Structure 1
Amino acid sequence: MSFLHRVAGRSLRDRVRSSVTREDHLIHNFYLLPLVFFQDDWNIYSFHINSTVSSRYATTVITSRVANRMAESKEVEFHVRIPKNAFITKFRMFIDGQVYDGNVKEKEQAQRQYTTAVSRGQSAGIVSSVGRTLEEFKTSVTVSAHNKVTFELTYEELMKRTLGKYELQIHARPMQPVKDFKIDVHIQEKAGISFLDVKGGLSTNALANAITRTQADKKAWVHFYPTEDQQKACDSCDEQGLNGDLVIVYDVNRNSTLGDIMISKGYFVHHFAPSSHSRIPKNVVFIIDRSGSMRGRKIEQTRTALIHILGDLAEDDYFGLITFNNKIFHWKQELVQANSANLDSAKNFAREISDRGGTDINRAVLEGSNMLNAHPREGSASLLILLTDGDPTSGETNIERIHSNVRQAIAGKFPLYCLGFGFDVNFEFLEKMALQNNGVARRIYEESDAAIQLKGFYEEVATPLLTNVTMSYKGGSNLTQTVFSQYYNGSEIVVAGQIDDNNIDSFIPQAVRTERKTFSETNNPVETSETVSDNQTQRVWAYLTVKQLLQKELLMSGPEKEEVKKNILELSLKYSFVTPHTSMVVTKPPGETADVLDKPKEGKQESRISGNPLQGALPPPPGTADPLPDGLIPLKVTADVGNYYIIK
């Protein structure tokens, strides 16, 4: 919940007094009333979430209708959570018969537009990271006495297939029971729906009978209509109503060797996920950080996960195990077969891993690369998995030199997967190193299920089916990524592009080639408007292109980086995507200042605000603060100078 709601007819900021000392940080002392939130002031009388999934592309609209019950104007807040992988594409408010549309603008332009208002102490909107999979969207508007406002937010995402399924996550947290509460999900898949399930905290116990689901051959519907009493009775609910996720899980039929292709208005999207092939034996080296910062629960959970993962290796797999601090420790100097004797020995080694010393990431990854390079094996797939919780502090510590060394050692021969343990890890360093070497980086959250997180990631890459996959399209251009180092069972390759001159007859997905397989089946279906909208295929292409350009930008520098940034900005503005380079400017009625909403980057724990975090409560000069009013509670918040954050 927000601390910045109206209190007894006055904004809380009108009750704030603060003093400032300036050293390396600004220290603000806030004084809060014991009760800062009165929901009786306003009522959410309708809250609808409508999600339409067509060919794995989800468009979700959240609509909240709120009434001000009071005989005076009130500040009403719209506060929702959306998937991190999504792009916000539209926001609007309906007040007194007027529509106030948000506009996506270049971030610097939006900030300049907002600077004058911020200097007057006006409010600012927020989009911030929350937990593992969600971002928080928050804005507010003043509603006159006994009046109403409707908020409407739209976001889009391409669903990712993991471990043989797609998951649509919908978070519901209206902050009060709502008389007219509905979640409606409609799925349309040309290939046919193979299974459908509903999971998440809102699908259990008292709420189970509020869910109805219907599945046909190519369509499915899920409806969630809980009563007000049910909204207070679930495991994660209380008098403030629902607080949890509804997760729609499904997969599609896969009858074509080459997958299925959607074509519309000169654009195509190709989904490729063969599953009928036998697994490829793998060569894997685990590189485990055992430095002093891994002490306690981190090292315990790492040992637990590693022992489980070793138990899942197949007998035709080969593996190596390296631990490191400021020194390197080999279990064996070379890769060995995953037979029972070697696995038992490796598990005993894992049980004895202890924490001490510095962090020599450079040497550890180079040692792992050397082990794989020394063990070439025909018809196998190789991969490196690095787990660390910190920055390089020993040996080579220059990040750019580490990136260069690792890139030269791997030389594109196998992927590097980087797992960053905890919030204080240098995630950008790991992400760049992984992307430079055909891998991905994943954050492991320092919580009770960290061992499960580690094992879950390994399961995603445990079963390679194809290596060195190249997607080729005759008559296609402006393609998204077409070369993939490895394809894993249960995942999916997605490629989008444009069809030259919109000539469908000349467009042929020529082949999918790997070292072991060649797919040359011609598959040329044209998707009709029955299952895909006229512009959806184009939007999927734009979505994928922007996502991949954002990754590419991380790897670039100088003029090349600026060119990539320019391309991201052009596409984001054209398709109204709120990305790290654009902002949503939320227009409001006359007399109120527009909010500027930014998309946070991965690895930012704080809730970045595009302006003054005190929402108008500017601190007086040192020594001039009013005395502490009776009954107020001090709350200390620390913020870096020049970068303001709300700490929740």
Structure 2
Amino acid sequence: MGANHMRILLLWTIFSVKEIFAVPTDSQHSLVVSSTEPPTSEESNEENVSPSDITPTVPQIYQMHVKSNISNRFAHTTVTSRVKNIARNSQEATFSIVLPETAFISGFSMEVAGKNYTAYVKEKEEAKRDYDQAVASGFSAAHVAVSARDSNRFTVSVNLEPETNAAFYLTYEELLKREDGHYEQIINLHPGQPIKDLNVEVLITESRKVIDVKAPPLRSGNEIGGDKDDLDPRADLEIINDKTAIVKFSPNIERQKQLAHVLGTNEDEGLAGQFVVQYDVERDPNGGEVLIQDGYFVHFFAPTELAPLPKHVVFVLDTSGSMGRQKTQQLKAAMHKILEQLHNKDLFSLVEFNTNVKVWDLNHAESSVWYPNGENYNYRDKRDEITFEGFEFPSASLVNPDNIKKVKDTVSQLAATGGTDIHTALRVGLHLVELAKDHKVDEVNRQPILVFLTDGEPTIGLTSTEEILNKISEYNVGLRRSPIFALSFGNGADRDFLQKLALRNSGFSKHIYEAADAALQLEDFYRQISSPLLANVTFKYEPSVTSLTKTEFPIHFGGSEIVVSGWCGTHLRKPPIIFGWGVKDRLTLKPAVIERSVSNVERLWAYMQIKQLLEKKETTDKDKEDIKKKALDLALKYSFVTPVSSLVVVKPNDTKTTDTESTTDDVPSSFAHAGRSSRGRGFSGRNRESFFGKPHFLMYSKKYPRYPSRSPPAFSLSTPKPKEKAVTVEEESTPPVDLLTTLPWLKDILNDNGILELPSGKYKMGLKETITDDVDCPKTPLNAVGHCSLLHSCPEIYALLTSSDVFVQHVCILKNEYAGICCPKRS
């Protein structure tokens, strides 16, 4: 099918891409996805329009609902936004959401002028080729770009004709991370205008007792430490039972403007901040808990009755010229606070680096050692090998009031000058770890931790970041291995390099934004690693357990949590065992096992697998393509938008006919899809399984629903070779979706005769039926009044139907024999 015969618009959301594409719109039917700010009123309006025609200047958002279902720490969030163009001319309506950095988009659909468009996930390079083809054909598109701290912005713009409505539905999923003794769900609210119906609802359902539920003051998203009383969200908190709680936030327009004023934003642009929900759960004090559902399990481990390990902290701090006065002052302020958090029996070393590396002697500052020194102070060939022969570095210092005062005085003397020798600084820091282990000041075994901060790229000595990664990883091995926690400070630091450095060396990286609260950011980071509880933690499962996520962890910190997931079949015959080194000796811990969970454990497992595969791809030189393919397979199977997959929207054809390939009776002819290039491809009957095994982007609506009724085939990434033949494509058609693949829990309530067995009785699914009765129902999965629809006719809520329990809550009955679902009403 040629691009000139079919109007296809592709929406490309690739988180790893940094370029911005700007393509002009050429049609009122165009669809725009942008990483830039929403268009101004001048850009949004047509030329030669009288002033009376351009009021209001932007379409009105009359409803924005955010519903987050947190089930066993895994959050599934749906954002619904409804917009109306009440002007007398066509205008661009923009839907823009700031997503947490750790979240994966898992669904997007929209309704424009009564037509539904649903996005599909596809391999990134394929989507890129299709996107390029769409751009070459004159359509508009762009991509997601980083917006606020630790987040990404998703932006979609559509052209709305006068008196036309649009509705947007975006879903994303994330595993909440436990830090500082609690879980935190952050919901960004940036609608760009006050909204009459703004509602946020967070439903928490846990397997254990929920404790300490609260909604702290709203945050700006760009500063921390600003817990002001006048930013109290005044949220409604309802404890349903020990394991369930609901938090609601529904500010009226006046309150939205008040909050915007306190947050320092324009009141006329509405609320622009973060609504936060925090909570924790009562937990097993030793081995944690294992939850099992549909053959998959998740193991949460956060012991509470362990004493902190003594540690040796090596601070390696960049004092090169680029640190400047402001950054250095912020670093000093943070270090003063961090040093106060060190525990008795801890050791610490202070290293600063610029052109050379200095190890500070707290007792005799003049005896501090520069490496290298003397004649080669200002020059070092990048090929020189590092050797410490002949150098006697100062010993690490014990934590006591006198030493803390001395190190604070020393930190106060730090000044920015010179270049940036990262490789030598890291080698010196790791060498100090060796010295402390070889020459103990007492009989205490200490956990080494290297905290590395830089604001730039290497300019002295070894300057290849890849070589630095390889050399440091080779050096930092065995029993002397020290986790490296890398902090990138400001815009000049190579964040990708520092992330790989930390991951390869059993730590994690954190970006410190160059803002007024930089010292607070540094304190917040150190708090996460201040109390190691266990070293060399290993999870052991019975041999029948497969598809495990990571099971070995070099260190576990208090206030955090380790999560392991995998496949165990119907049950675990033996509880797993956790081994780890505590303060005195090796510990053996066993968890509690819960056979049934209300959450979708399989999706949680897939989320973790993809995250860890992507991390592995970035930190290894071997099998990169194989690792990428595994991550891609999972991303496509579970419809996650990741750095290796993309979200794609297809816009229906304006005409009735298009050149594409043939389909058979197994697959209705009332659809077309974009294949490996922008040329559409149909599927013959013999290729049906390959088609249904893989997510594609289709154009469809609701007129002719047809669905397969047999069990889903094995997942396949193959692309079938179709026959060439012209077919007729209806604008109002429905994509053939295998419901048992999309909604795998259906098999639990579907009997051999294809009948759904529900608590209220037995009902048909009506896969080949079209019911147009207008039947209202009280509550959709989006928590609003809707209309009763056959399940296959309401694909926009599939991502919300995470289990049969959720489905049953929203079932409605049609014609006394069909089990429908309460579907959102289309404006």
State TM-score, norm by structure 1.
0.83
SS at match of 1:124: coil
CA distance 1:209–1:467, change in 2 (3 Å): closer
Q: Which residue of the other structure, out of 209, 221, 238, is the alignment partner of 2:246?
A: 221
Please state if 1:343 is matched with 2:404. Answer: yes
Which residue of structure 2 lines up, in the alignment, with residue 251 of structure 1? Answer: 280
Which residue of structure 2 lines up, in the alignment, with residue 212 of structure 1? Answer: 236
Which residue of structure 2 lines up, in the alignment, with residue 472 of structure 1? Answer: 540
Deviations 1:163-194 (A, max 9, x none): 10111001112112211111111001111112
Which residue of structure 2 lines up, in the alignment, with residue 617 of structure 1? Answer: none
Shift of 1:229: 1.7
Which residue of structure 2 lines up, in the alignment, with residue 292 of structure 1? Answer: 321
SS at match of 1:277: coil
Distance 2:427 2:572 in 1: 49
Q: Which residue of the other structure, out of 294, 297, 301, is the alignment partner of 1:268?
A: 297
Distance 1:522 1:250 in 2: 22
SS at match of 2:253: coil
Which residue of structure 2 lines up, in the alignment, with residue 399 of structure 1? Answer: 465
SS at match of 1:342: helix
Q: Which residue of the other structure, out of 566, 575, 581, is the alignment partner of 1:508?
A: 575
8 Å Cα contact 2:351-2:359 kept in structure 1: yes
Q: Which has the larger radius of gyration?
A: 2
CA distance 1:402–1:9, change in 2 (3 Å): closer
CA distance 1:141–1:104, change in 2 (3 Å): same
Which residue of structure 2 lines up, in the alignment, with residue 240 of structure 1? Answer: 269
Task: Choose 313-322 or 208-217, whichever is displaced more.
Answer: 208-217
Distance 1:557 1:103 in 2: 31
Which residue of structure 1 lines up, in the alignment, with residue 382 of structure 2? Answer: none
Task: Choose 418-427 or 117-126, whichever is displaced more.
Answer: 117-126
CA distance 1:59–1:380, change in 2 (3 Å): same
Which residue of structure 2 lines up, in the alignment, with residue 604 of structure 1? Answer: none
SS at match of 1:569: helix
Distance 1:549 1:507 in 2: 28
Unpaired runs of 5+ residues, structure 1, are: 16-36, 596-648
Q: Which residue of the other structure, out of 515, 520, 528, is the alignment partner of 1:452?
A: 520
8 Å Cα contact 1:320-1:335 kept in structure 2: yes
8 Å Cα contact 2:289-2:591 kept in structure 1: no
Which residue of structure 2 lines up, in the alignment, with residue 302 of structure 1? Answer: 331
Distance 1:393 1:541 in 2: 42
Please state if 1:434 is matched with 2:463. Answer: no
SS at match of 2:344: coil
Deviations 1:542-566 (A, max 9, x none): 10111111111112236x1111111
Which residue of structure 2 lines up, in the alignment, with residue 373 of structure 1? Answer: 434
Please state if 1:230 is matched with 2:255. Answer: yes
Which residue of structure 1 lines up, in the alignment, with residue 590 of structure 2? Answer: 521
Shift of 1:567: 0.8
Which residue of structure 2 lines up, in the alignment, with residue 30 of structure 1? Answer: none
8 Å Cα contact 1:9-1:72 kept in structure 2: no
Shift of 1:233: 1.7
Which residue of structure 2 lines up, in the alignment, with residue 492 of structure 1? Answer: 561
Which residue of structure 1 lines up, in the alignment, with residue 759 of structure 2? Answer: none
Q: Which amino acid aligns with 2:415?
A: S
8 Å Cα contact 2:209-2:281 kept in structure 1: yes
Which residue of structure 2 lines up, in the alignment, with residue 46 of structure 1? Answer: 63
8 Å Cα contact 2:144-2:152 kept in structure 1: yes
8 Å Cα contact 1:5-1:11 kept in structure 2: no
Q: Which residue of the other structure, out of 194, 207, 215, is the alignment partner of 1:177?
A: 194
Unpaired runs of 5+ residues, structure 2, are: 1-35, 220-226, 362-393, 656-672, 675-827
8 Å Cα contact 1:207-1:226 kept in structure 2: no
Which residue of structure 1 lines up, in the alignment, with residue 552 of structure 2? Answer: 483
8 Å Cα contact 1:126-1:139 kept in structure 2: no
Shift of 1:207: 6.7
Which residue of structure 2 lines up, in the alignment, with residue 70 of structure 1? Answer: 87
Which residue of structure 2 lines up, in the alignment, with residue 199 of structure 1? Answer: 216
Task: Choose 211-220 or 375-384, whichever is displaced more.
Answer: 375-384
Task: Choose 358-367 or 513-522, whichever is displaced more.
Answer: 513-522
Distance 1:281 1:206 in 2: 41
As a proportion of its length, which structure holds more strand?
1
Shift of 1:208: 4.3
8 Å Cα contact 1:257-1:519 kept in structure 2: no
SS at match of 2:603: helix
CA distance 1:591–1:201, change in 2 (3 Å): farther
8 Å Cα contact 1:66-1:149 kept in structure 2: yes
Shift of 1:589: 4.5
CA distance 1:138–1:325, change in 2 (3 Å): same
Deviations 1:448-491 (A, max 9, x none): 11111111111111111110000111131111111111111100
8 Å Cα contact 1:46-1:65 kept in structure 2: yes
Task: Choose 474-483 or 58-67, whichever is displaced more.
Answer: 474-483
CA distance 1:106–1:385, change in 2 (3 Å): same
Which residue of structure 1 lines up, in the alignment, with residue 644 of structure 2? Answer: 581
Which residue of structure 1 lines up, in the alignment, with residue 602 of structure 2? Answer: 538
8 Å Cα contact 1:125-1:139 kept in structure 2: no
Please state if 1:152 is matched with 2:169. Answer: yes
Which residue of structure 2 lines up, in the alignment, with residue 553 of structure 1? Answer: 617
CA distance 1:326–1:55, change in 2 (3 Å): same
Shift of 1:46: 1.0
SS at match of 2:461: coil
Deviations 1:112-139 (A, max 9, x none): 1121221244321431112223211101
Q: How many residues align?
A: 566
SS at match of 1:126: coil
Q: Which amino acid aligns with 1:2?
A: E
Shift of 1:11: 5.3
8 Å Cα contact 1:473-1:511 kept in structure 2: no
RMSD over aligned Cα atoms: 2.5
Q: Which amino acid aligns with 1:260?
A: E
Distance 2:462 2:246 in 1: 55
SS at match of 1:392: coil
Distance 1:11 1:587 in 2: 25
CA distance 1:512–1:39, change in 2 (3 Å): farther
8 Å Cα contact 2:98-2:148 kept in structure 1: no
Deviations 1:419-458 (A, max 9, x none): 1111221111111111111111111111111111111111
Shift of 1:354: 0.6
Distance 1:66 1:46 in 2: 7
Deviations 1:373-430 (A, max 9, x none): 1112653211111111111111222223222221233215220111111122111111
Distance 1:201 1:228 in 2: 16
8 Å Cα contact 2:286-2:591 kept in structure 1: no
SS at match of 1:302: helix
8 Å Cα contact 2:488-2:495 kept in structure 1: yes
Distance 1:164 1:195 in 2: 10
Please state if 1:382 is matched with 2:456. Answer: no
8 Å Cα contact 1:206-1:230 kept in structure 2: no
Q: Which amino acid aligns with 1:557?
A: D
Deviations 1:490-529 (A, max 9, x none): 0000001111xx141525313333363423435321124x
Which residue of structure 2 lines up, in the alignment, with residue 104 of structure 1? Answer: 121
